[in-house]
A and B are shown apart, each in its own frame.
Chain A
C-alpha cells in the first residue's frame, strides 16, 4: 500500500478552516462585548458568554436526548407507539442477556484492575530513580487510540494452527512452552476478559498519573509524623497514603467506570461483537445503524444513560463535599 501524502494533505484544510473559524468567532465575540456601553454591560456579558454554550448544549445534547427518549417508546421506523416493548426486549433474549453479562464483566474488571495497577505502580515508582521514564512507559498507551490498541492486541492474540508460522505473540510463547496455539478471542466468556485487558492496558496509565500526583500532594508533615510513630511501609500505605488520596481514587474509578460502560471501539475492532462478546454500546450501534431499528437502539441508549447517571451524580457530590471541606 502506497501512501500518497500530497493526496491527503488537502484533508488538513477543513480542520484548519474549522479551528480558524472558531478562533475568529471567539475573537469577534470578545471585541463586540468590549465595545458595549457601560450600561447593562454585565447582563450582555452574561448573555454573550453563557448564551452560545447554552444554545450549543440545547442543540447538541438536550434536544437529541429528549428525542432519543421518545424514539425508545416507538417501533423500528418510529411510526407507532409500542410502550415498554423495546425495554422488555433487552431482558428477554439469551443474546441480550449475555450482552448485559459482558457489560457487567467490563464494569467490574476494568475500573478495579486499572485503578489497582495504576495505584500500585504509582506507589512503587514514587521517588524511585528514573521515575519519569517509568511513568511515561505506562502512560504511553493512553496516547494510542482505542482502535489502534485493539489492532495491536489482535495481533498479540492472533491464532495460526501449529503447522503454520505464528504471527501472534502469545501463541508463539505458548509454542515455546510446548503448548498448543489457542484461539483467545473465540470462547466465551473468557474472550471478553481478553478484550478487557486491552482497556486496562490503556486506562492504567491514566489512573497512575492522577494517583501519582495525589500521592505527591500528600503533606510531608503527615508522612513525617507517621514515620516518627514507626510505621512500616505496609501500614504507611493502608493507614496514611490510601485514606489521604481516597477522593482521587474515587474520581479515577468513576471516570474509568463511565468510559468502560461506553466501551465500543475495542469490541467492534476486536471481535465485531461476535463470539458472545457483545456489549451494550455496541448493540446500541448495531440495532440503530445495522438493523435500522431506531426503537431498540434508542432504548439501549436510554438504558445506558440511566446506568451512567447515578455515577455522575455520585461524582459531583464527592466533588462538592471536597470543596466544602476546603
Chain B
C-alpha cells in the first residue's frame, strides 16, 4: 500500500476533511423567524399551543398535491405563531410504508389514517399513544359519538377525526336532466325507472371506473357497501363489517346481486366508455367524466369526486354537473349514508405533538381548512357557511341531518387482508364476469382467522 505518495495521502486527507465539513454544513439548521412574530395580535388565538423552543412535528398522510398544499396553508398561521414547524409528508404508499416505518422504529409523530381498521392494528400492538386529555375533550365537544367510536379501543380514545366525506352521491348533468325532463329520484324504484327511461332515450344510464393501481376495485366496494346499507339496513351492515355474519351470507349475496343489477347490466353500463368489463380498466378518476358530456346519465361516487372534473367545470344545481343523494330503498327507514374520513394517530407524546394534535381537532383549524374549498368535516362546531364548495355544503347538510343513519366505509373497517385486499380483488373479478357466490366465497376464505 506504499503506492500512495506523501502528497497523494495529504490530498486524500484534505478530501476527507472537506467532506466532513460538507456534512456538517448540511446538518445546520437555517430556519429563520424570531419570537417577536409569535407575540403579535393575530397570534393571540394560538397562545395556548405555543412552545418556548423551536420544535418540529412530523405528519405522514395519504393526502397529496393540491389537497396537501391546502392543508399546509390551513396551518401556516399556526406555525408562525407557535414555534412549531409541521413537517408534512404525503405519500401514495401510506398503507405499506407506515408499517415499515413503525416497525423500523422510524414512526412519524402523527400519522393520518384513512382506514380506522388499519389504525386499530397499530393500536392493538400498543404503538399508538392514547389521545391526550385536550384531544379527548375536543372530540367529545366537536364530533358525534359515532365518529369517536371508530378510534376507540377498549374504552380508550386514540385519535381525532380529520376530514370526512360523504360517499352516497350520484353525479349527474343538470343540463341533460332539464333537456329530457328527468326528475331527481327519491327512491330506489324511481332510480331504476329513471335508468330504464334513459335506456329508452338511447342514453347509457350509468358509468363507472374502478381501476386505481394497486387499489383497483375500491370504487366497487363502495357500491356494495352503499347498497348493503340500503338493502339490509344498518344492523346487518354492522354484523357484516364485524364479521358476525360471514361474508358469503345470503343477505350479502342479495345486496351484491342488487348492485350487479346495475353494474353488470350490459344495457345500463358503461356510458360513454364501453362494455361492462371496461369498468375494471377505467380509472376511478375517469369513470364519471362522460356525465359531463351527457354520454352517461349517472355516476355514483363520493363528494371528493368534485376534484376530478376538468378545470372550468361548473359544479352546481344549474351548472355542468351536480350530485344528488343516492336514494334509499325504503324511505320510511331514514336516510342511510355511507361516510368515510381520516383519523390522526400519535406515535409520540412530546408537548409540541400534543399541541398540533389538539389544534387539528379544534373547530378553528377545521374552519381554516373549510374556507380553502373542496373539503368536508363532520366537526359539529364548524359553521356550515364556512364550507366553500357547493358539494361540501350539501355533504355537511347530510352529515348534520338528524334523520341521517351514517355508517363508515366498511372496507376501511375490515382487516387489511380483506378491506384492502381480497374485497378489492374479488369485486374486480366479479365485474370481469365471476359469479356472485364464488366471489363472496373467495373473500370469506381470506378473512384472517
A residues near B, CB below 8 A?
13, 16-17, 20-21, 23-24, 27-28, 30-31, 33-34, 45, 76-77, 93, 95, 159-161, 163-164, 183, 185-186, 268, 272-276, 285-286, 289-293
Check if A17 sits within 8 Å of B420, measured CB to CB: no
Residues of B within 8 A of A20 (CB): 19, 22-23
Check if A31 sits within 8 Å of B19, measured CB to CB: no
Check if A28 sits within 8 Å of B273, measured CB to CB: no
Residues of A within 8 A of B22 (CB): 16-17, 20
With A33-B1, A161-B275, A272-B213 already in contact, the answer to whether A24 and B96 are too (CB < 8 A) is no
With A17-B22, A286-B421, A289-B100 already in contact, the answer to whether A159 and B274 are too (CB < 8 A) is yes
Residues of B within 8 A of A23 (CB): 15, 19
Does B58 lie at the interface of the complex (its beta carbon under 8 Å from any beta carbon of A)?
A: no
Residues of A within 8 A of B432 (CB): 186, 275
Check if B416 sits within 8 Å of A292, measured CB to CB: yes
Residues of B within 8 A of A16 (CB): 22
- For the complex, would chain B's binding face be called helix, strand, loop or mixed by DSSP majority? helix
**What number of B residues sit within 8 Å (CB to CB) of A?**
43
Give 3 closest A-B pairs by Cβ, nearest first: A161-B274, A291-B417, A289-B96
B residues near A, CB below 8 A?
1-2, 4, 9, 12-13, 15-16, 19-20, 22-23, 26, 95-96, 99-100, 121, 125, 213-217, 272-275, 277-278, 280-281, 416-417, 420-421, 425, 428-429, 432, 442, 445, 448
Check if A290 sits within 8 Å of B95, measured CB to CB: yes
Report the Cα distance A149→B415, complex, angstroms: 34
With A17-B22, A30-B4 already in contact, the answer to whether A274 and B12 are too (CB < 8 A) is no
Check if A93 sits within 8 Å of B445, measured CB to CB: yes
Check if B428 sits within 8 Å of A275, measured CB to CB: yes
Check if B214 sits within 8 Å of A30, measured CB to CB: no
With A34-B2, A183-B278 already in contact, the answer to whether A27 and B16 are too (CB < 8 A) is yes
Check if B99 sits within 8 Å of A34, measured CB to CB: no
Partner of B421, one of A13, A159, A290: A290
Report the Cα distance A31→B1, complex, angstroms: 8
Check if B26 sits within 8 Å of A290, measured CB to CB: no
22 A-B pairs (CB sep. < 8 Å): A17-B23, A17-B26, A20-B23, A21-B19, A24-B15, A24-B16, A30-B1, A30-B12, A31-B12, A34-B1, A34-B4, A76-B417, A95-B442, A159-B278, A159-B281, A164-B272, A183-B278, A186-B281, A272-B213, A272-B214, A274-B425, A292-B416
Report the Cα distance A130→B100, complex, angstroms: 50
With A183-B278, A290-B96 already in contact, the answer to whether A274 and B420 are too (CB < 8 A) is no
Chain A min CB distance to B25 (Å): 10
Partner of A24, one of B19, B125, B272, B274: B19
- Nearest opposing residue in chain A for B27, CB measure: A17
Residues of B within 8 A of A31 (CB): 4, 9, 12-13
Partner of B12, one of A27, A45, A160, A183: A27
Report the Cα distance A30→B273, complex, angstroms: 65
Residues of A within 8 A of B20 (CB): 24
Report the Cα distance A95→B421, complex, angstroms: 13
- Nearest opposing residue in chain A for B4, CB measure: A34
- Nearest opposing residue in chain A for B118, CB measure: A292
Partner of A291, one of B274, B277, B416, B442: B416
Report the Cα distance A183→B278, complex, angstroms: 8
Report the Cα distance A20→B15, complex, angstroms: 9
Chain A min CB distance to B242 (Å): 19
- Nearest opposing residue in chain A for B295, CB measure: A163
Residues of B within 8 A of A28 (CB): 16
Residues of A within 8 A of B214 (CB): 268, 272-273, 286, 290
Residues of B within 8 A of A17 (CB): 22-23, 26
Chain A min CB distance to B264 (Å): 15
Check if A21 sits within 8 Å of B281, measured CB to CB: no
Report the Cα distance A274→B2, complex, angstroms: 60
Partner of B417, one of A163, A186, A268, A292: A292
Report the Cα distance A16→B23, complex, angstroms: 10
Report the Cα distance A218→B274, complex, angstroms: 56
Residues of A within 8 A of B448 (CB): 76, 293
- Nearest opposing residue in chain B for A22, CB measure: B19
Chain B min CB distance to A126 (Å): 42
Report the Cα distance A93→B445, complex, angstroms: 10
Chain A min CB distance to B426 (Å): 10
Residues of B within 8 A of A292 (CB): 99, 121, 416-417
Residues of A within 8 A of B216 (CB): 272, 274
Residues of B within 8 A of A183 (CB): 277-278, 281
- Nearest opposing residue in chain B for A158, CB measure: B281
Residues of B within 8 A of A33 (CB): 1
- Nearest opposing residue in chain B for A28, CB measure: B16
Residues of B within 8 A of A34 (CB): 1-2, 4, 9
Partner of B277, one of A45, A77, A186, A289: A186
Residues of A within 8 A of B425 (CB): 273-274
Report the Cα distance A268→B417, complex, angstroms: 18
Residues of B within 8 A of A93 (CB): 445
Residues of A within 8 A of B1 (CB): 30, 33-34, 45
- Nearest opposing residue in chain A for B290, CB measure: A164
Report the Cα distance A23→B15, complex, angstroms: 9
| Most B Cβ at <10 Å: residue of A21, A95, A290 | A290
Residues of A within 8 A of B274 (CB): 159-161
Chain B min CB distance to A256 (Å): 26
Report the Cα distance A95→B2, complex, angstroms: 62
Report the Cα distance A299→B99, complex, angstroms: 19
- Nearest opposing residue in chain B for A293, CB measure: B417
| Most A Cβ at <10 Å: residue of B1, B100, B280, B416 | B1
Chain A min CB distance to B209 (Å): 12
Report the Cα distance A274→B282, complex, angstroms: 13
Report the Cα distance A292→B442, complex, angstroms: 18
Residues of A within 8 A of B417 (CB): 76, 290-293
Residues of A within 8 A of B429 (CB): 276
Check if A164 sits within 8 Å of B273, measured CB to CB: yes
Report the Cα distance A183→B272, complex, angstroms: 16
